[in-house]
Amino acid sequence: MYARIAGTGSFLPKKILTNADLEKLVDTSDEWIRSRTGIEQRHIVEDGETTTDLAEHASRNAMAAAGVGPGDIDLICVGTTTPDFVFPNVGTLLQSRLGIHGCPAFSLEAACTSFMYALSVADKFVRLGESKCALVVGAETLTRIVDWKDRGTCVLFADGAGAVILQPAEEPGIIATHLHADGKYKDLLLYPDGVSSGFKLVREGKAGVQMKGNEVYKVAVNTLGQLVMETLNANHVRKDQVDWLIPHQANIRIIEAIAKRLEMPMERVIVTINTQGNTSAASVPLALDTGIRDGRIRRGQLLLLEAFGGGFTWGSALIRY
């Protein structure tokens, strides 16, 4: 038994923040942002718009693409760093929005790798016969936790959601997933506040994503380079057999470095960072849906998905679409 992708969907907030807009907020420039990140614009939520709102739209689009309804879904797994509430989790909020009742619904958090972790968990449910129609979502409203005075981070992050429907199949499908983490890097990329710390920084107005950019870049390139080779070698796949690389959209230079490691031309890499920014857990499913809907990704092709996030966490999936 394998899990195959039956349908994909995505959703981006209507509000767009350009580099020119950011020039009015912080000491930065369009040229500086483009040259260092590859980002030209990003979508951000309006007041009152939540992670569950974005997840709902993406989920409905994925369900429509797969030809399934609320009564078919028997598992909901959401990857997010920015839940609406401490509890209930986004999975259950999404379940209610979609009119689904009784099935397992949960969220998990592994920063930008959250969707990859959620996909791996749902894959196991399908393989074990415990799910026949799983909804897997990556959704973020990361701009809610950005310090808009920090020019090193506020230019990077954005909001959005992507979703996939997994169903059983006799042929893969999801060939394999590979997940990793190493907490020794926790201080290089973090949001240093939360429930058990009493939201101290939030109350003081000092909260925001903190990142040591150069160190993160070095570890990300090295770690992801090892990850893609681990994934190919473990599954006896050659570099030239991969049709599409679908990477986490964190930084165009990281994406280019991984493509080079794979000896893959950028024409075979799905890139959305220029128009979407870094949507964290949503970036991989957003890029996947983009490539499918514009016709580049076709049935039968071999896809390599990868992501890297705070923690650090990192993960990949090798998929026969």
Q: Which residues are known to be catalytic?
A: 112, 248, 278
Helix (H) and strand (E) counts in the chain: 10, 13
Give the number of C-alpha atoms closer than 13 A to the C-alpha of residue 250, restricted to the C-beta side: 25
Cα 119 from Cα 136, distance rounded (Å): 6
Beta strands 302-309; 313-320: pairing state = antiparallel
Angle at 184 between CA 178 and CA 281, to 5 degrees: 45
Q: How far, in Å, are 29, 80, 128, 132, 168 from residue 3 at the CA level? A: 45, 22, 10, 9, 5
Question: Within 10 A of 193 (CB to CB), how many other CB atoms are there?
Answer: 17
Q: How far, in Å, are 54, 203, 275, 298 from residue 272 at the CA level? A: 18, 35, 6, 18
Give the torsion through C-alpha atoms of 32, 37, 39, 45, to 10 deg.
Answer: -110
Cβ atoms of 78 and 118 closer than 8 Å: yes
Residues 6+ apart with CB under 8 A from 134: 3, 73, 74, 75, 76, 77, 122, 125, 126, 165, 166, 167
Q: Which of 131, 138, 121 is nearest to 167 (CA)?
A: 131
Cα 75 from Cα 35, distance rounded (Å): 42
